[in-house]
Structure 1
Amino acid sequence: MAKVAWWWVAGVVVAQCPNACSNKGQCDKYGRCNCLSGYTGGDCSVRTCPFDYAWTDYATADDTAHAKAECSNRGLCDRTTGECECMSGYQGKACERTSCDTSCYNKGKCLAMRSFALSHYSDYSEQFSYETPWDARKVYGCACDEPYTSYNCGKRRCPSGDDPLTTGQVNEVQILKCMATGGSFALIFDGKISGTIRAGFREAGVKAALEATESIAEVSVSFTAADNGTVCQSDSTNLVKIEFTQNFGSLAPLKPSADALAGTVEVFADGTTEVGDEMGTKHVSIKGTKEDDQCSNRGVCDAFTATCTCTTTNNDVYSSSDGYGNPGTRGDCGYPETSVTTCPGEVACSSNGVCDDDETYRCSCAKGWYGADCSLRQCPVGLSWFSYPSAENAGHDDLVECSNGGACDTSTGFCTCGAQFFGMACQYLACPTGSAVTACGGNGRCASMYELSRLATANGDETDVTYGIDVNNPLTWDAHRVFGCACDDGWTGYDCSLRTCPTGDDPGTYGQANELQLIQCAADSGYFKLAFRRDETSAILSNATAADVEAALEALSTITNLEVAFGSGESACLASSTSTPNIISVQFITEHGDLPAITADVADLYDSATGTTGVVTIATDGTTLDSDYTSVAGTTEEVECSNRGICDTSTGICDCFDGYSSSDGRGNKGAQGDCGYRELCNADWCLTATS
């Protein structure tokens, strides 16, 4: 073990720091190492690892959590290298971010929620920031290239289209109005931006710019201006009607981007607002009512090849259409090659749904099933781990298959979750080493952020802190979804795999005081109970002796050793009418630092002088009782291995530096296991060091 240098100065033995602080720190006047950044331990021989915002921790105030932690509480620190060994599914120097499964198969970009918000748009072509939430730079996901999809871009979208057997439906028609003297603008649809539209463009130019949009297949453009004019007018009104001829269903409105326009541009797409043209004629946009079904609801999608296998059962044959029930190249199964007589499936709807035999021959699938023939199993849905924000700094609120944290097996209806997630819908961030049942190595329990907040303590005392009580608070979206380990006593680490070591006062420091608390009990019958750090004594009789009170307190799991003394008499409690009250002094020996106050339960105490319940008064932190007695706030340290040894986290035993061994909590030799006893300089190593 590390040597401690000693020498004689004017007959006094002066201790220097262990192992000369390993050349990684400075020695102070107490013989204590102040380590350089990146190093820790009593001799600065232990490496620290990078810190970042914790994935899970105990809340310190209402809705306040995710403080910085070593390896972000999702990895173990290698104390020899200072590098984090991250839990599967996490990466970064501090395990501070989730990894993207299979690196998105190189079919998309792995982005943080913040970056995703900045570089993409919502389905309605809105853009929101995601800066404030704790996970803005931590939760990563795949922003897939078209036509790739799934949480890891491992699948592809198949062509979609109108169901050829439904009738009486219409295309979406949106109306644009531009009043400007010049410049240009663009239109955003489904998050994709069009080509530049100049104020002087005519119908063909607008059509070409729109069809240059990645998300628009084909449009028809017409102007209401009598002379066919230009898209933008300055002294009259030209309405531009845009019919989506190959994008079906009720569509999101086109969103103008008009910073370069000398004027204004509006889009009307709600199907109700009337807009007047230059002749005073009122025009109303039209909401699309056609289906936009995968494979036109007449085939099954192969998500790995992005091709539709069109149904051919019962001699009802479908193939690729033009979007209008005729043969074409959409690849969508929207063309019925034969007369249709029943619903898809060898048995109609695969016996997993009801056939609508009203000439649409469309399956209404039972719960848990989907597809043209109801042959595919649905997977559970959950709130998304990675999706576009729904508002400023609000996310993770879309209900999606497998929570965007796993892939759906349509043959079984089960989600295969990514490494970070668990639950039927992959809806929970997993604890280390297993499910909620087997997690935390058997040395703790898996708890949600909300549950962890209810277990939070302050200096060993319970708190009333909560996290995520308001389910509508977007900043605590994780309260019931993100899980971490609450380790049993004696264990620590993000996965509860490390043993804790005894703590104690540093024997090299001086001028400090142990905690002294004072108790006064005004009663003459019954009993009371005392509590310290969430543990309560058995009943203490009003006439208990000092030894009785001391024994009751030392029986607590939170106290090892203390001393109790009475200021007056032999009885713990005295009636309030007594001229000289008894002040009970409680001197803590093995518990160090500024300790929380002892509390009392007086429900079963009685004071005959007042005829009421007895009263117990407790003084701490320098306050007085009966003017002659003053409490003392503890100033001793409570540090691992008393700062004079290194903790072996595999055993929970302190490996003390030469010259130090286990103390009794107050600097004498004892059984605390804390390296808090400084031995006399009579060992061979000491004599050698000073010769």
Structure 2
Amino acid sequence: MKTLALLTSGLVVLTSLVGTRAGCPNGCSGHGTCGIDEVCQCYPGWGTDGHAGGDCSDRFCPFELAWVDNPTREGDRHSYAECANKGECNRKSGECVCYAGYEGKGCGRQSCPGQCSGHGTCEYVKDLSFGIVHNEYYDGSTDALSGLGIGGRTFQDHSFDSDRSRMCVCDAGWDGLACQTRMCPYGNDIMDVIPGFDENSLLGMPGYGNEYAQVQTVTLFDANLDNSNFDGQTFAVKFTSKLNETFVTQPIAWDTTDAVLAGYIESALLKLPNGVIDDVAVTVDSNDNNSGVILDVTFTGESVQGKQHKLEILADKCEVGCSPRITGLANLRTFSDTALSQTLSHVQISTPGSHNSFECGRRGKCNRKNGECSCFEGFTGSACGSLSALV
């Protein structure tokens, strides 16, 4: 009996010893398998406090290219990092709690300040364009570089943050990093008169002495060198104001008689809403070796003095589900990045004009709350462009 008791006691002790050696920490929390030497092999996405192994009780968070990190031995940067090094990982949910200014899976993209105040859109850097209109700041060196263009010109961007960094693109009439401030009307500084122009010039503006108006020259070439092919087709013209408002004319029917076509274009521009173009003069010359048509648009109105955004020609077919409904100008020779040529259709600022264009005419301060000018003493008007008294 004593022998049996001793054997039973020894069995209990042996069983106890075996039990203490047979398991991994917390049984790998149900998120892994127990391997050699009682080391947990965690399932994907599980570990302990951001590291592999342990008791597999914590979640990993999404990895994205790090916004900022130490360089590698070769000097490379932006390796993958948990929460892109711009957030803390919630180990229970496996979701990143991003720092201010960052959002998305793994904090992989920037947010825009104040959600652009409801007056703009948050855009990726790869989608940002140069200028308000295509090649807005064309320097006149080569006609073909100007192009016809639609909207600002975008470029390929292969940088690591091209689809991650973002900024606000404001609606018309709004400005600021968060699109939080109003823009005010633009106009010529009535006290700024540039002398030295020929008062007998045809470009002289009645009521403005010998000042020159801006002239934009649109040259349209038919691909088959026969501009009569445009007859009966329709197109439209897009104008962008200094407040970045965009306006598109009604469909303009092409006419082979220069004076008639000029009248159609002029009338369409003057019919744009809100009197955004209050006066304009258009001439047409189709005698360019019967291959091109030259349209000269002279901005003679007070509201369009000084530098204006370039006109854009809408020449693509637009019939179903778009506006305005136009046939387009078939076979129009348009801008190409790979085949620059003087014979490509283009828009050029042929006469810069002698007027300037300042917010509130440089004779007042803009009220950023309501978008109205508070004119200095002696000046009145929406853009402070009228002189009420000499002070």
State TM-score, norm by structure 2: 0.65
CA distance in 2, matches of 1:110, 1:223: 41
Is residue 40 of structure 2 the alignment partner of residue 40 of structure 1? Answer: no
SS in 2 for 1:114: helix
Change (3 A) 1:210 1:138: farther
CA distance in 1 between counterparts of 2:34 and 2:46 reads 14
Please show how residues 166-565 of structure 1 align to structure 2 within 5 Å.
166-168=192-194, 169-180=211-222, 181-182=229-230, 183-187=233-237, 192=246, 194-195=248-249, 198=252, 200=254, 202-207=261-266, 209-210=268-269, 212=272, 217-218=277-278, 220-225=280-285, 235=290, 237-244=292-299, 245=301, 246-260=303-317, 261-264=329-332, 266-270=345-349, 285-312=350-377, 317-320=378-381, 331-338=382-389, 340-341=390-391
More strand by share: 1
Task: Call closer, same or farther: CA 1:158–1:120 in 2, change over 3 Å.
Answer: closer
* 8 A Cα contact 1:219 1:242, kept in partner: no
Structure ID, larger Rg: 1
Structure 1 counterpart of 2:25, which letter? P
Over 3 Å counting, the alpha-carbon distance change for 1:20 and 1:291 in structure 2 is same
Could you report, residue by residue, the CA deviation over 1:314-363 in whole angstroms, capped at 9, with x for unpaired residues?
A: xxx1111xxxxxxxxxx10100012x24xxxxxxxxxxxxxxxxxxxxxx
The within-5 A match list for 1:528-677 is: none
User: For residues 99 and 71 of structure 1, what CA distance do their matches in structure 2 show?
Assistant: 15
**AA of the residue aligned to 1:267:** H
1:161 aligns with 2:187: yes
- Report the secondary structure of 1:264's partner residue: coil
TM-fit CA distance, 1:170: 2.0
> Residue 72 of structure 1 aligns to a residue in which SS?
helix
1:200: Cα distance to partner? 1.1
Q: Aligned equivalents of 1:248 and 1:119: distance in 2?
A: 19
- Contact preservation (8 Å) 2:263, 2:282: no
Note the C-alpha offset of 1:295: 0.7
Asked if 2 retains the 8 angstrom alpha-carbon contact of 1:74 and 1:95, the reply is yes
The separation in 2 between residues aligned to 1:86 and 1:26, in whole angstroms, is 32
- Confirm or deny that 1:110 pairs with 2:122: yes
Secondary structure, counterpart of 2:115 in structure 1 = helix
Q: 2:34 corresponds to which letter in structure 1?
A: C
What is the Cα deviation at residue 85 of structure 1?
2.0
Distance 1:188 1:253 in 2: 9
Q: 1:79 to 1:189 in 2, by over 3 A?
A: same
Deviation of the 1:299 alpha carbon:
0.9
Q: Give secondary structure in 2 for the equivalent of 1:224.
A: strand
Q: Quickly say closer, same or farther: Cα 1:155–1:136, change in 2 above 3 A.
A: same
Are the structure 2 counterparts of residues 71 and 122 from structure 1 closer, same or farther at C-alpha, using a change threshold of 3 Å?
Answer: farther
- Relative to 1, partners in 2 of residues 1:238 and 1:137: Cα closer, same or farther, differing over 3 Å? closer
Contact 2:168 2:179 in 1 (8 A): yes
Structure 1 residue 147: deviation in Å?
0.3
**Equivalent-residue separation in structure 1 for 2:166 and 2:291 (angstroms):** 50
Name the aligned partner's letter for residue 348 of structure 2: A
Q: Residue 215 of structure 2 contacts residue 352 of structure 2 at CA under 8 Å; is this kept in 1?
A: yes
Question: Which residue in 2 is equivalent to 1:607?
Answer: none
Letter in 2 for 1:319: T
Q: Distance in 1 between matches of 2:284 and 2:132?
A: 34
Question: Structure 2: 5+ residue runs without aligned partners?
Answer: 1-13, 49-53, 137-150, 195-210, 223-228, 256-260, 318-328, 334-344
1:135-189 per-residue CA deviation (whole Å, 9 max, x = no partner) reads: 1222222111110110011101111100112224322101122244134555555
Shift of 1:116: 3.9
Aligned residue identity for 1:194: V
Identify which of structures 1 and 2 has the higher relative contact order when contacts are C-alpha pairs closer than 8 Å and 6+ apart.
Answer: 2
Equivalent-residue separation in structure 2 for 1:27 and 1:18 (angstroms): 9
- Aligned residue for 2:64? 52
Moved beyond 6 Å, runs of 4+: 11-14, 231-234
Q: Distance in 2 between matches of 1:61 and 1:170?
A: 62
| Gap change, CA 1:17 and 1:251, over 3 Å in 2 | same
In the alignment, the residues of structure 1 paired with residue 250 and residue 266 of structure 2 have an alpha-carbon distance, to the nearest angstrom, of: 11
Residue 296 of structure 1 aligns to a residue whose secondary structure is: helix
Relative to the length of structure 1, the TM-score reads: 0.39
Q: 1:127 to 1:214 in 2, by over 3 A?
A: farther
In structure 1, the gaps of 5 or more residues are 1-6, 226-230, 271-284, 321-330, 342-691
CA apart distance, 1:196: 6.5
- TM-aligned CA deviation for residue 290 of structure 1: 0.9
- What amino acid does structure 1 have at the position aligned with 2:28? C
Does the C-alpha gap of structure 1 residues 13 and 299 become closer, same or farther in structure 2, counting only changes over 3 Å?
A: closer
| CA distance in 2 between partners of 1:79 and 1:39 (Å) | 9
How far the C-alpha of 1:52 sits from its partner, in A, is 1.4
Specify the alignment match of 1:482 in structure 2. Answer: none
Alignment partners' CA distance in 1, 2:177 and 2:135: 17
Q: Is 1:148 paired with 2:174?
A: yes
Determine if contact 1:97/1:138 at 8 Å carries over to the other structure.
Answer: yes
Residue 31 of structure 2 corresponds to 24
Cα distance in structure 2, aligned partners of 1:63 and 1:208: 62
Per the alignment, in what secondary structure is the counterpart of residue 383 of structure 2? Answer: coil
Q: Please list the CA deviations of residues 120-139 of structure 1 after superposition, one character each: whole Å capped at 9, or x if unmatched.
A: 75672442135411112222
Q: CA RMSD in A?
A: 3.6
- Check 1:335–1:173 CA distance in 2 against 1; reply closer, same or farther (3 A cut): same
Q: SS where residue 295 of structure 2 aligns?
A: strand
AA matched with 2:372: T
Q: Secondary structure of the equivalent of 2:68? A: coil
Letter in 2 for 1:240: L
- Distance in 1, Cα, partners of 2:78 & 2:216: 46
1:346 corresponding residue in structure 2: none
CA deviation digits over 1:630-655, x for unaligned, max 9?
Answer: xxxxxxxxxxxxxxxxxxxxxxxxxx
